């Protein structure tokens, strides 16, 4: 659960990161939290990021998908889009997340699709729509990330899975 075997990145983006020694598909494992929650990234570009998450294991006491789980999926997808927009010289840091929960889900998979609302030099904002298996909207979210230049201390904090030389944190 949480393994990223089928992520689709534009080849030019993969090549750009590879030139810096970063294995981009390995980097997008959705992180430790995303892995525990079963987040799967299916497609990723600055224009569109798609991912899924199981409802099972991510519910609140009433058996419904936890709103915080929807927020994790939304922030993961919007952050990936923002990072890809920012390019190899910047990192994306979430500064605002808003989620509106429309309906409960008790089972199956939810799918999130992040698309840009604004992509600037210093910020990027993505709308994330999360739907159930019947394509009914479960959650509408918006994430704004600050884009800042990478400095030396950031480079050492890349997840080890994403570093081709294994020199991650």
- The residue annotated as part of the active site, out of 3, 16, 75, 149, is 75
Token pair of 139 as six digits: 């959650």
| Catalytic-residue membership of 12 | no
According to DSSP, residue 1 is labeled -
| C-alpha dihedral (75, 76, 81, 87), degrees to nearest 10 | 110
Give CA angle at 117 (111, 123), nearest 5°.
110
Place of tokens 């920012």: 86
Give CA angle at 94 (34, 165), nearest 5°.
60
The catalytic residues are 75
């Amino acid at each position: 659960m949480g393994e990223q075997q089928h992520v689709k990145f534009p080849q030019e983006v993969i090549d750009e990161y590879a030139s810096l020694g970063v294995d981009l598909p390995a980097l997008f494992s959705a992180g430790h939290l995303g892995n525990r929650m079963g987040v799967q990234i299916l497609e990723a570009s600055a224009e569109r990021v798609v991912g899924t998450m199981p409802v099972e294991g991510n519910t609140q006491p009433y058996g419904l998908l936890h709103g915080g789980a929807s927020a994790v999926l939304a922030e993961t997808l919007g952050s990936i889009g923002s990072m890809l927009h920012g390019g190899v010289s910047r990192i994306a840091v979430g500064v605002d997340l808003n989620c509106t929960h429309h309906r409960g889900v008790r089972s199956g998979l939810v799918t999130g699709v992040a698309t840009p609302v604004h992509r600037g030099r210093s910020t990027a904002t993505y709308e994330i729509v999360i739907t159930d298996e019947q394509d009914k909207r479960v959650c509408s979210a918006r994430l704004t990330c600050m884009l800042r230049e990478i400095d030396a201390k950031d480079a050492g904090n890349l997840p080890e899975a994403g570093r081709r030389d294994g020199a991650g944190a």
